[in-house]
Every structure is written in C-alpha cells, then in structure tokens.
Amino acid sequence: MRITAFIFILFYSAAVLAGSLEPAIVVSSDRAEATAPDKTAPADYESLDSLFALYQPYLGNITAYKPMYFLVGADPQNSKFQISFKYRFLNPDGSLAKQHSWVKGFHFAYTQTSFWNLESASAPFEDTSYKPEFFFQTANIETGLSGIKKLFLQAGFQHESNGRGAEYSRSTNLLYVKPIFIVFNEKNRFGLQVAPGIWTYVANAEDTNPDLADYRGYFDLEVKFGKMDNFVLSTLLRWANKGGSIEMDLTYPLHEFSNNVQVYLQTQYVSSLAESLLHYQDRTEAFRFGFAIVR
C-alpha cells in the first residue's frame, strides 16, 4: 500500500510540475504582464513519439545507411538479418557548416549482420558481424560528363568483429575509398548506381584470421538498377585469391499492392566466401526470402 501511495504521489507531483512549467508571463520592454497559455492552439501530442521528439533535437541527423532486412533461407539454417544506420556529427545548419559546408560529410555508422540458424530447436545465432565505422562523404561533385550528373566520394575506417572469444574470435579493420556514380532519369524514374570499393587491412587479427584477405580480397563492385517505385536489382561482386563472390538482391515495394503496407518484398541469392567472419574460409551458397525496410 505504501509503495502504491508513493507511486501515485510521484506521478501526481510530476504532473503538477509539468503543468506549472507552462509559459505564464510575457515580458515586454516596458512592463511584465500575466497571460494565460493559448488554449486555442491544440498540441500535437497524440503519440509517444511526438513527445519523445521534443527532447531529441538531434534525430534529424540519424538516417538509414546500408540495406535493412530480415530474410529466411530456403534452408532455414542460412537465415540472415541486417540493421544499419548513420549519424551526421555536425549540425548542417550550424555556424561551422555555413562557413565550411564540407564538414557536413563527417559521419559515424553502425551495421550489424546476423546469421540465424532457424532450423535448430533453440534457433541460435551462428555468427554476427558488428561493424562500426567513421567515414567522410562528399556532396555531389560536378563531373562535366554527359549523363553522369551525380558523383559522390566516400572514404573511411571500419572495424569488424564477431564479438566472440578464444578460437572463435574474428576481427579486422579496413581503410577504404568508394566513389559512387549515379545516373537518374527523372522522367521515367529509372536509376543506376555503380560503386566500386577498394580497401586495405589495418591491424587484422593475425592469430585467428591471418589469411582473411585471401577470401575477402581488396576490391568489390556494387551495382544497383531499377525504377523508383518498382523492382530494384542490386549486385555485389568481390574478388579474392581463393575465388570470386556474388550477392544479388531483388526487391519490390509492397505498397504497390496495398497502401497500408510500407515494406519491400526481397529475395537474395548469395555464393560467397567469407560472408560471415567465423566461417570465412567456407563458401556460403543460399537463397533467402523475406522483407526489407531499406533496400
């Protein structure tokens, strides 16, 4: 009973305090006059998110980064999901950005890719890659080339590890550069993105994955093609001493069938070395099906 009374008093006091903080005094240059809060303007606080956002002025700096999806394998032990976001460090409307617009290109990003064995009774995660990174991305660079109106350059440092210990530990670090070429036709809404990436390994874990470069290589090529509100095909090619790797993703927006649904239907085919860090010496070949919220 005492605990219940204490909780009631706590919430009641918080409500009274919140009410007392509403603006009640307007100070002018010659006098101060008491005014009542404007009751005619309704507050748009129908959801918890609308109140949460009041205390989160930096939310506009957080955006999606790499694809985010949940995919079930044709063989359920090869299921996979990924989350990813990026955060812009500096206020794009701040005084520094207004004087030096290039500082808006500094970002922190985080991507997590998990491989889930849904075939097992306990449905364990076989492996997970945690990939925090810092990168700089330019604004659109004028190329002067006919047809190529959009060119961006990204360079950064990425750490990748699977968060495990002893003989199951895997980790590496990359310094990379990636130019991103984009061609987009505003009339028919078709777009093409070509993004070759090159990298070098820094402080690779020589005790647990010394030959990772033989399976991951130093170069990849990402190509995306499709229509804005239709199918998009994404292909990632990678070359290494031990062989080539390919990942293909086909997505389609489900709002084309119902305006109530805002996810993409996704299918993925992969034939890849080192798709996961733990089994980087093995080739994964899998078909996966599921949903994406970012493609």
pLDDT for the residue numbered 256: 86
Q: How far apart are CA 20 and CA 40, in angstroms?
A: 19
Tokens 């033989």, located at residue? 214
Q: Is 257 contained in some domain?
A: yes
Percentages of the chain per state (helix, strand, coil), in multiples of 5: 20, 45, 35
Residues 248 and 40: beta-carbon distance below 8 Å: no
pLDDT for the residue numbered 239: 95
* Number of domains present in the structure of the chain: 1
Give the 3-state secondary structure of residue 217: coil
Residues 6 or more apart in contact with residue 187 via CB below 8 angstroms: none
Q: Is 94 contained in some domain?
A: yes
Q: Residue 182 has which token pair?
A: 């984009």
pLDDT for the residue numbered 40: 52
Q: Residue 10 has which token pair?
A: 């706590």
The conformation of residue 228, written as its DSSP 8-state character, comes to T
- pLDDT values of the chain reduced to their tens digit, one per residue, 295 residues: 555 555 555 555 555 445 544 443 333 444 444 444 455 555 678 899 989 999 999 999 999 999 999 999 999 999 999 999 999 999 999 999 999 999 999 999 999 999 999 998 888 899 999 999 999 999 999 877 766 779 999 999 999 999 999 999 999 999 999 999 999 998 999 999 999 999 999 999 999 999 999 999 999 999 999 999 999 999 999 999 999 999 999 999 999 888 899 999 999 999 999 999 999 999 999 999 999 999 9
Domain that holds residue 240: 60-294
Q: Half-sphere exposure (CA, 13 Å, Cβ side) for 194?
A: 4
Q: Is 227 contained in some domain?
A: yes
Supply the CATH number for residue 237's domain.
2.40.230.10
pLDDT for the residue numbered 142: 83
List the one residue out of 287, 291, 288, 233 whose CA is nearest residue 264. Answer: 291
Q: Is 23 contained in some domain?
A: no
pLDDT for the residue numbered 145: 74
pLDDT for the residue numbered 35: 46
pLDDT for the residue numbered 12: 57
Q: Is 240 contained in some domain?
A: yes
Q: In angstroms, how far is CA 199 from the centroid of its own chain?
A: 20
Alpha carbon separation from 200 to 26, 174, 176, 285 (Å, rounded): 61, 6, 7, 26
Residue 280 is which amino acid?
A: Y
Q: Is 39 contained in some domain?
A: no
Q: Is 110 contained in some domain?
A: yes
pLDDT for the residue numbered 205: 97
The CA radius of gyration of the chain, in Å to the nearest whole number, is 25
Q: Is 229 contained in some domain?
A: yes
Backbone φ, ψ for residue 154 (5° rounding): -125, 135
Tokens 């359920």, located at residue? 76
